[in-house]
């Protein structure tokens, strides 16, 4: 059995009930958690958000185990855990008012961690595999109508003499016109900027997977307009979109812009930046686009994820049927 090694210090060690300190994890396990998260980030290409969630889930479990054992857990403790112990932990989380979605994610995080420990010859324990993950009903995407999505873009473009309004318009058009995730839009560099004459954009998506997406002429013009008005120097390999003080633009700024539009345009609470990506997919499907083509444009690893949009389109068709059919 070899030990794990890694670098860095864990600063978030949340238990089921309250944050814990780094003392909850023994030396070897501390190193294992650090090395595991580094593997997920560097080799598996997990996003910072995913790393935070996985790390928090595992540290919560180790914090609970410390209280259960009366001391920080070690490698041998993890190797000897049985199904009953894992169920006791999940029951504790359930008593802490966590829902099925959080419990399912926590179980997945622990399974991923234990599989990695086994792959590294640190320990082998498959008891967790005997516990079924809570079933989580999938949510159906909530796109905007074509009219509402158009209104969002037009509202953002209403003050395009202001560089920040021009920026917001360009970002929102990338979300709705090309189906980008907000993190993907904010990761576009000047070198790859889809300006007039460049109708395809290279996108680095989840898991560092690269895909090419088409860019509409209106989006190309909006990006060029933003570059023209931006008061900050833009380096070729740095994020294209800048915040008010010149640093990289963050997602929260675009979310706030959408919140303001919701009030101004009377949009539903589901009108978020990500809803524009949903709208892109749904409107393409309604216009007859092939599901696999939409999958490729969105960068979905699995077709089952893209198939959720067929449920949205089915609901829309049923609503039209009920309104229009004389015998409905």
Q: Is the separation of the CB atoms in 289 and 309 below 8 Å?
A: no
pLDDT confidence of residue 260: 85
Q: Which residues have a Cβ under 8 Å from the Cβ of 91 and sit 6 or more positions away?
A: none
Residue 291: per-residue pLDDT: 73
Confidence (pLDDT) at 23: 47
Q: How confident is the model over 275-327, as pLDDT tens digits?
A: 888 888 888 877 777 777 777 788 776 666 666 666 655 555 455 445 555 55
**Residue of higher predicted confidence among 134 and 328:** 134
Query: In the chain, what percentage of residues exceed pLDDT 90?
Result: 38
268 has pLDDT over 90? no
Which residue would you say has higher pLDDT here, 216 or 5? 216
- Asked whether the predicted pLDDT for residue 222 surpasses 80, the reply is yes
Question: Given this model, what pLDDT does residue 9 score?
Answer: 33
pLDDT at 327: 55
Q: Are 13 and 59 in contact (CB under 8 A)?
A: yes
Calpha distance 284→309 (Å, rounded): 10
If pLDDT is split at 50, 70 and 90, which confidence band does 120 have? Answer: very high
- Residue 102 is predicted with a pLDDT of 85
Average pLDDT, the chain: 81
Q: Which residue has the higher pLDDT, 5 or 238?
A: 238
The count of C-alpha atoms lying within 13 angstroms of the C-alpha of 109, restricted to the half-sphere facing its C-beta, is 23
Q: What is the pLDDT of residue 4?
A: 45
Structure token digits, residue 99: 């829902």
- How far, CA to CA in Å, does 23 sit from each of 10, 52, 73, 244? 10, 19, 10, 41
Domains of the chain (ranges, CATH numbers) = 13-130 (1.10.150.130), 146-324 (1.10.443.10)
Which pLDDT score, from 0 to 100, does residue 122 have? 93
Give the model confidence (pLDDT) of 237-263 as tens digits.
Answer: 999 999 999 999 999 999 988 888 887
Q: What is the 3-state secondary structure (H, E, C) of the chain?
A: CCCCCCCCCCCCEECCCCEECHHHECHHHHHHHHHHHHHHHHCCCCCHHHHHHHHHHHHHHHHHHHHHHCCCECHHHHHCCCHHHHHHHHHHHHHCCCCHHHHHHHHHHHHHHHHHHHHCCCCCCCHHHHCCCCCCCCCCCCCCCHHHHHHHHHHHHHHCCCHHHHHHHHHHHHHHHHCCCHHHHHCCECCCCCCCCCCEEEEECHHHCEEEEECCHHHHHHHHHHHHHCCCCCCCCCECCECCCCCECCHHHHHHHHHHHHHHHCCCCCCCHHHHHHHHHHHHHHCCCCHHHHHHHHCCCCHHHHCHHHHHHHHHHHHHHHHHCCCC
Q: Specify whether the CB–CB gap between 251 and 273 falls below 8 A.
A: yes
Predicted model pTM? 0.57
Cα angle 178-182-185, degrees, rounded to a multiple of 5 = 60
Say yes or no to pLDDT of 231 above 90.
Answer: yes
Higher per-residue pLDDT: 189 or 293: 189
Mode of pairing for the β-strands spanning 13-14 and 19-20: antiparallel
Looking at residue 8, what is its pLDDT? 36
pLDDT > 70: percent of the chain = 80
Q: For residue range 149-182, list pLDDT tens digits in order.
A: 888 888 777 655 689 989 999 999 999 989 898 9
Residues with catalytic roles: 181, 206, 274, 277, 300, 309
pLDDT per residue as tens digits for the range 81-116: 999 999 999 999 989 888 888 888 899 999 999 999
Q: Residue 65 pLDDT more than 70?
A: yes
pLDDT value at residue 262? 84
């Amino acid at each position: 059995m070899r030990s794990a090694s890694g670098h860095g210090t864990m600063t978030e060690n949340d238990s089921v009930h309250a944050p814990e300190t780094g003392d909850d994890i023994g030396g070897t396990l501390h190193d294992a958690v650090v090395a595991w998260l580094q593997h997920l980030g560097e080799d598996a290409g997990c996003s910072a958000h995913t790393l935070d969630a996985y790390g928090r889930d595992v540290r919560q479990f180790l914090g609970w185990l410390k209280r259960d054992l009366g001391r920080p857990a070690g490698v041998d403790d993890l190797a000897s855990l049985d199904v009953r112990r894992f169920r006791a932990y999940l029951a504790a989380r359930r008593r802490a008012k966590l829902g099925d979605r959080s419990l399912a994610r926590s179980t997945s995080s622990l399974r991923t961690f234990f599989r990695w420990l086994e792959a590294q010859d640190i320990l082998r324990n498959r008891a967790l595999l005997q516990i079924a993950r809570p079933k989580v009903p999938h949510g159906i995407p909530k796109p905007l109508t074509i009219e509402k999505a158009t209104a969002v873009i037009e509202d953002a473009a209403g003050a395009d003499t202001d560089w920040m309004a021009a920026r917001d318009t360009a970002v929102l058009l990338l979300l709705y016109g090309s189906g980008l995730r907000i993190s993907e839009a904010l990761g576009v560099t000047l070198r790859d900027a889809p300006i007039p004459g460049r109708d395809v954009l290279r996108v680095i998506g989840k898991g560092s997977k690269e895909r090419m997406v088409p860019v509409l002429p209106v989006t190309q013009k909006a990006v060029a307009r933003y570059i023209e008005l931006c008061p900050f120097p833009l380096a070729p390999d740095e994020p294209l979109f800048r915040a008010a003080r010149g640093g990289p633009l963050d997602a929260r700024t675009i979310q706030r812009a959408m919140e303001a539009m919701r009030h101004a345009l009377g949009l539903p609470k589901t009108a978020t930046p990500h809803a524009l990506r949903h709208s892109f997919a749904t409107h393409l499907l309604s216009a007859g686009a092939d599901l696999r083509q939409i999958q490729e444009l969105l960068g979905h690893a699995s077709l089952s994820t893209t198939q959720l949009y067929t449920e949205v389109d089915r609901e829309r068709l049923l609503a039209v049927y009920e309104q229009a059919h004389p015998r409905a």
